[in-house]
Amino acid sequence: METNINTLEQQFQDKIDKGQKIEPKDWMPEMYRKQLTRMMSQHAHSEIIGMLPEGNWITRAPNLRRKAILLAKVQDEAGHGLYLYSAAETLGTSREELLNQLHTGKAKYSSIFNYPSLTWADIGAIGWLVDGAAIMNQTMLAKGSYGPYSRAMTRICKEESFHNRQGYEILHTLAHGTNEQKEMAQDALNRWWWPAVMMLGPTEGNSPNTEQTMKWKIKLETNDAIRQRFIDRTVPQADVMGLKIPDDKLVYNETTKHYAYGEPNWNEFYEVIKGNGPCNKKRLDDRNKAHDNGAWVRAAAEAYASKQHIKNKVA
Ligand code: BYC
What is the Å distance from ligand 1's center to 81 Cα? Answer: 15
Residue 229 CA: distances (Å) to CA of 85, 160, 233: 28, 17, 6
The secondary structure of 71-131 as a DSSP string is HHHHHHHHHHHHHHHHHHHTTT--HHHHHHHHHTT-S---GGGGS---SHHHHHHIIIIII
One-letter amino acid for residue 255 of the chain: T
Index of the ligand 1 atom closest to the CA of residue 40: 43
Query: Which stretches does DSSP call E strand in the chain?
Result: 251-253, 258-260
Q: Whose CA is closest to atom 33 on ligand 1?
A: 43
State whether the beta carbon of 42 lies less than 6 angstroms from ligand 1: yes
Per-residue pLDDT 10s for the chain (315 aa) are 556 888 999 999 999 999 999 999 999 999 999 999 999 999 999 999 999 999 999 999 999 999 999 999 999 999 999 999 999 999 999 999 999 999 999 999 999 999 999 999 999 999 999 999 999 999 999 999 999 999 999 999 999 999 999 999 999 999 999 999 999 999 999 999 999 999 999 999 999 999 999 999 999 999 999 999 999 999 999 999 999 999 999 999 999 999 999 999 999 999 999 999 999 999 999 999 999 999 999 999 999 999 887 888 777
